[in-house]
Every structure is written in structure tokens, then in C-alpha cells.
Amino acid sequence: MAAARATGDVRLAGPRWTGEPPHILDLVEPRLGGRASAVADGTGTFSYRELDEVSRAVAHALLARGARPDEPVVVHGTASRHTIAALLGVLRAGCCYVPVDAGFPEERRRLMAQGCGARFVLVPEENETGAVAGLEHVALATRQRTGQPSGPADASRGTHAYTCFTSGSTGLPKPVTIAATSLGWSTAARLRHYAERVGAFLLCSSLSFDSSMAGIWWTLASGGLLVVPGGRPGDLLAVARAAERHHATHLLMVPSLYGAALRGGLAPRLRTLTTVIVAGESCSPALVARHLAELPQAELYNEYGPTECTVWATVHACAPADARARAVPIGRPIAGVTLHIAAAPDAPGTGELYIAGPGLAVPGTDAERFVDLHGTRHYRTGDLVTVREDGELLFRGRADHQLKLGGVRVERAEIERALTSCDGITDAGIGVSGAPRPRPVGFVVTGGTALDEQRVRAQLLRSLPTTALPARVIAVPALPRLPNGKVDYGTLDRRAAEVRR
């Protein structure tokens, strides 16, 4: 295992990016007009020609209503070929799409619509019920066509691509707006980095989360097939069925969901995959080991990147050595990205990560998190990392998830990694009881085997200081999750507060 650097501030740069980043439509519109299949869902398929016609009709409908350049337009729905056409149509109208998942609670959908300042909401026919109130509805008919040839729509190119809302278990949704050239850069960087061309990509994320943007635009810019499995995000049986039906080659999931797919015996149904990407959570060595054992034909990549940096900023190609390591790296910066790691005075060898590059969100978004370093705009992530001697980054948790236990600073992620290394534990989350004396409580998934709490505590002592041991370790059927699939720490904290010693 490579040693970690223990020096002061560190700067790392990815491969050089030459020229101006492309507008996302410059990558996608040349693909439109062909007969190849573009988007498939549970009820049908759009060819690239049909996708061109429907998205052009959406653009014309918005322009006819008086939509202005860069104006936010809500797209209300769940993932389908019609909502994908709507996203593209908004861009072709020169506007900025705001995807609002129809499966979200009504109050969250209302806050998202209000928070972006939209006048219009596009509503595919299958999502008309429960659409956001208070906006001017623009229906998206399933047979909507213009009959015009493919090519650029009759509108000026917008400078904004989309607005997503960062997810949290508490507080109000926070809008993050991404430029069309930032999305173009992020997509072009994928085309450059990944050797395997997208044949069929499984879309496993809600449209309201930025991870879905990676798969949508990467696939369409490749001329591949975007596959919407059906059901809600996280429906692993639907994912497996779609993978078999469409001979899927690529997917992106949060690590815990991908691990659940493998533990659920779905690997044989994913055998056509050539590229698997995990992102959004820490990837464990155990997951790498399981992947290599069950899907050795597919490359596994661990990506990292905040919403404010257009999906990704670093990537690591997983190898057998990662299965034996204490932690899986989040990799090196991608093309065009520069990283600054500010040394933490109370944690030698660890620093807070700042990111610069073409993917940074538009000015005005969460302004206090963007700072000037060395004359360049950076995003302050709040994430703690160390840098190995080989230049690979190791994620060490969140600065705001640090716990001070018995005078020792400890990350939730460190305790969780230690728990998942214990016999019989397949997943773990740490909840923290409130003041005046915070204490960690471990919630673990055992896959049906009986939990021996005393044995687990004995195993934890091999890797954790006594002060970092969970006050209790409790077996649960599954960890609570947010709509994007990440662990819901707010719920775990509330459960921890209710636990007696």
C-alpha cells in the first residue's frame, strides 16, 4: 500500500485541457437524425431521429410561449424517453432545465420549483397527475413532432444547461446551476477518459440528481442507447431485466446500491457490462473484491465530484490491490481540473479539498463556498483527503462529519469502514446522538446472520481507538436512504438519540 504524504499544502493538476469547452449541444446535435435507437424505457424506444423531432417540438413550444434565453424551465416527471426528450428540448430552446422528480414529496417539489424561479413546467403525459402547481404547464405529447429536418433548433444557444438541488436530510433544497459549456466539458472529458464506448447505458439515478446527467449526455454524445430500467431508482430487479434485454455495457450507481445488487445474486444478469462506475459514497475494498470475483470482465471505476463541479473531478480505476487495502482511492484529477489540498493543522497528512476547472457552477451559486486561490476560482468542498505518494487521493470524510470523542477526532466513515470489515457485516452507517455528550451508534446490515455485538466490538478494537468505539452496534434490515440512494444520516442521528446504552 502506498504511503501518504505528510507535507503542507498540495496542488495536483489533471491532464491539460486545450481550447474552449464545447457547448453540450455541439456534442449531441450531430448525432440527431439517425435511425439508431437513442432512448428506451419500459413502454417503447425513440430513435435519434424521433428524439430530434420531439425535442425540437418542445423547443418550439417554449419559444412560442415567450421563453427567454437561460430562463429556468421545470421538467416534472420520472425518467422516461419523453422526459429525456424534454431535457434536450429545453436546451434547444436556449433555456435551462430544472428536473423535478415526480416521485419526490409534494413539499420538496414545490420548494424546488420556487427556488429556481421558473415560469414554465413541462409535463410528459405519464406525469400529468400531481404536477407542480403555480406554473404555466406546457404539455409534452407523446406524438409531438415538427416534421422539420434535424439540426440546430431556431433559437440562440443558452449559456446555462441545468439547475439541480443538492440533497440533504434537513434544511431547504439548495439550487446549483451548471453552464452549458461546463456540461459539455464534463461530457467531453468522459469521452476522452473512458476507453470503452457506450453501447447501452443503464440510467439508475433520479433525474433530479446530477449523477444522472453523466449517463444521459455521455450516452447521447456517443450515439449509444440510454436505457431507463423502469420502476423507481433503486429497483434492482428492473435494472437487471433491462440489462439483459438491452445488453447493457455501462452503469453508474452509488456503491451501496451496487453492492446490494451483487449480494442479491444479480451479477449473472449484468454479464454484458464492460464498465461499472460507482460514485456518491465511499467505495469499500470489500465491494472491489466482490466485483472482481463476480464481474471480472467489467472495469470498475471509483469517481468523485461535488454537484458544484459538474458531476466528477477525480477518478480511480480499481485494481486487485484495492481489494486488500484499507481504503479505495478516489483517484487523480481529470482533464482540466486542478486540486488544492489545504493542510489541516490538527490532522497531519490530511487536508481540505478545493477544486478548480471548467466544471465549476455558475457564479452566484452558493457563493460562500467559492474562493480565490492563486488568482483562480476554486470550490471549497468540505471534504478531507490525503495524497498517496503515487498521487492518488484517499477520501477521509467530511469536515462537518468529524466527531471529537475523548479528545480524538474521528470520521463517521472511518468507523463505518471498520464495521464493514467485521465478520458478517455487509453494510454500516453511524448515527450520532445529540448534545451534551455526542456518542456514535453503529447500525449494521448482516444479511440475515445473527449479530454478536461483543465479538464485533473485539474486532473493532484492532483498528479503532477505544474512544471511537460505537456505544452500541444494532442490526437493521437496511440503512435508511435519501432519494439519491445515499445514506440518510439525519435519520440515523435521530435513531441514535433514542438508543439507550
Q: Is 311 a residue whose pLDDT tops 80?
A: yes
> What pLDDT, on a 0 to 100 scale, did the predictor assign at position 16?
95
Q: Is 497 a residue whose pLDDT tops 70?
A: yes
> What pLDDT, on a 0 to 100 scale, did the predictor assign at position 150?
47
Q: Is 184 a residue whose pLDDT tops 80?
A: yes
Average pLDDT score over residue span 420-428: 91
Q: Which stretch of 88-92, 295-299, 477-481 has the lowest confidence by average pLDDT?
A: 477-481
The DSSP element (H or E) to which 495 belongs, if any, is helix 489-498
Q: How confident is the model at residue 147 (pLDDT cuts 50, 70, 90)?
A: low
Average pLDDT score over residue span 313-340: 97
pLDDT digits (tens, 9 = 90+) for 42-67: 999 999 999 999 999 999 999 999 99
> What pLDDT, on a 0 to 100 scale, did the predictor assign at position 107?
76
Q: Is 242 a residue whose pLDDT tops 80?
A: yes
pLDDT digits (tens, 9 = 90+) for 452-495: 999 999 999 887 777 788 999 999 999 998 877 788 888 999 99
Alpha-carbon Rg of the chain, whole angstroms?
23
Contact yes or no for 280/257 (Cβ under 8 A): no
Q: Which positions ≥6 away from 93 have C-beta within 8 Å? A: 58, 59, 60, 62, 63, 67, 73, 153, 155, 158
Average pLDDT score over residue span 371-384: 93
User: Smallest Cα–Cα separation from 91: which of 66, 120, 59?
Assistant: 59
In whole angstroms, give the CA distance from residue 499 to residue 501: 7
